[in-house]
Amino acid sequence: MRVNVKKVPAIFFPASDKIKPYIAPQSEIMDLKIKALIEHFHFSPLPAEGTLFASTWRSNEEFADGSPVGTAMIGMYCTNPLSQSFFHRLPVDETWHFYSGDPLRLVLLEPDGKSHDVIMGSDPLKGEQVQCIVPAGVWQAGQLVEGGSYALFGCTLAPGFTSSMYEGGVREELLAKYPDRKKDIFILTAIKAEKQMPEGFAK
């Protein structure tokens, strides 16, 4: 199927120019490697979702409405500072890639009420996934596997990510449909859910 696209200059950026980088409070004791990774990638907190991230690529082709044909980001889960992703869903498939560190866990809640976990890590011979496709419409959330220090990963989307794609999960609504995931839903949702990204965050 042909799409209506136009050429624009490719954008490669090591940090988001929309929000401020993460700066640890003076009283916060942080692992030196995690601190170095935050500084190296210029990580910032992702609005609504809660993950430390850095946008790294926006395609040089756009659809007629100005949205990108593809995008990529690098993210990190860790416990100090706390970085994990709250439940959310997208209208397109998302590809996750594991890069380094300790294993991470994705919790996937499917539209039919079923759910499952995916463990991503660097040891595929132990069942860890180095790549995972989260289908469109599936609620997803993620966190570092207990006992780990950090997990470095990436996500790519085609069509590319825009803030209008994001739908945050509401705790009460998720509990009603997935009662067997009560513990995960309480941990991986905010008390006051942000259902949308800030307007204009990612166009």
Do residues 100 and 108 make contact, with C-beta atoms less than 8 angstroms apart?
no
Residue 153 lies in a domain: yes
**In total, how many domains does the chain have?**
1
State the residue range of the domain holding 93.
Answer: 5-187
In the chain, % of residues over pLDDT 70: 84
Dump pLDDT digits (tens) for 174-201: 999 999 999 999 999 987 778 888 876 6
Do residues 9 and 68 make contact, with C-beta atoms less than 8 angstroms apart?
no
Among the listed residues 129, 155, 153, 160, the one whose alpha carbon sits nearest the alpha carbon of residue 58: 160
The CATH number that applies at residue 101 is 2.60.120.10
In the chain, % of residues over pLDDT 90: 75
Assess whether pLDDT exceeds 90 at residue 160. yes
Residue 202 lies in a domain: no
Cα of first residue to Cα of last residue in the chain, in angstroms, is 23
Task: Name residues whose C-beta falls within 8 Å of residue 153's C-beta, 6 or more positions apart in sequence.
Answer: 74, 75, 76, 77, 96, 97, 98, 99, 104, 120
